[in-house]
Amino acid sequence: MPRILLIDDDAQLGPPLAAYFQRFDMTLVHALRPSEGLALLRVGGQAERFDCAILDVMLPEMDGFELCRTLRKESDIPIIMLTARGDVMDRVVGLELGADDYVPKPFEPRELVARVQTVLRRRATTAPAATASARLVFDGLVIDPATRTVQRQGEPVELTSTEFDLLHLLAREAGKVFNRDDILNHLRGHEAELYTRAVDIVISRLRKKLEPLDCIKTLRNAGYSLAVGRIENGIDHHPARANGGSSHA
């Protein structure tokens, strides 16, 4: 049964929300303070492992953004931010810091459950085909879907769940241009007002983490592609050369 950690200083929120999550076969644990939530996440035992964290923006000790930043340094656990309704900047900042999704307050419990189910499903989804789970080896970049790990020039790169899924999408068909709708449909599966902006944010984060590799290209008014030499059976297959090059914004 998935275990969800809610970090929110509203003591009245936890019990009814935990009861509601139980209806969907999920256990919700409520921490009132960031220090309490971090302690729970750092226990480390398999029985205490959490599958998703829900963070309120307005918290004592540290705000939800600082908490998100702290978690991202330690874990790739899916993070959903609870933001003020209509506050687009809160959502943008949360996504830039590595959050996977956001839900504006006040919210319907069913919407929060749906968002949690989406990030859990995305994390758990593994394609059964051998080609989908095989390691993808490029010039200076190795992507392993089975372990959800990435190496850049031999060094491990820490990616969030969303960042990994986007990179894997581009890498499976390196050289193909994916527009924002393609990416959103793959990553999210449902609509939200900020998601188009979220694609640009995740791409920006990926580029920074993959530096000095300059492998994610922008084709104006078209979308994004992975343009880096694929190493397969000792043969370098370079999509940019094969397709006559591409432009980088």
Q: In the prediction, which pLDDT does 15 show?
A: 96
What pLDDT is recorded for position 112? Answer: 96
According to the model, what pLDDT value does residue 44 have?
61
* Distance set, CA 59 to CA 14, 35, 56, 68 (Å): 15, 11, 7, 12
| Full set of structural domains in the chain with CATH | 3-124 (3.40.50.2300), 130-242 (1.10.10.10)
The first and second tokens of residue 53, run together, are: 């964290």
What single-letter DSSP state applies at residue 127?
A: -
At residue 127 the predicted structure's pLDDT band, cuts being 50, 70 and 90, is very low
Angle (CA) 169 175 177, round 5°:
70
Reported confidence tier of residue 246, pLDDT bands at 50, 70, 90: very low
Summarize pLDDT for 9-65 with one digit per residue, the tens.
999 999 999 999 999 999 999 999 999 999 998 876 444 689 999 999 999 999 999
Q: What residue spans of 75-108 are helical by DSSP H?
A: 88-96
Q: Is the pLDDT at 189 greater than 60, yes or no?
A: no
Alpha helix segments (H runs only) across 45-153? 64-74, 88-96, 109-124, 130-133
Q: Which pLDDT band, with edges at 50, 70 and 90, does 190 fall under?
A: very low
Q: So what's the pLDDT on residue 188?
A: 60
Burial string for 107-134 (b: 16+ CB within 10 Å, else e) reads eeeeebbebbebbbebbeeeeeeeeeee
* pTM (2 d.p.): 0.62
Q: Which helix (H) or strand (E) holds 167?
A: helix 161-172
| pLDDT given for residue 2 in this prediction | 93
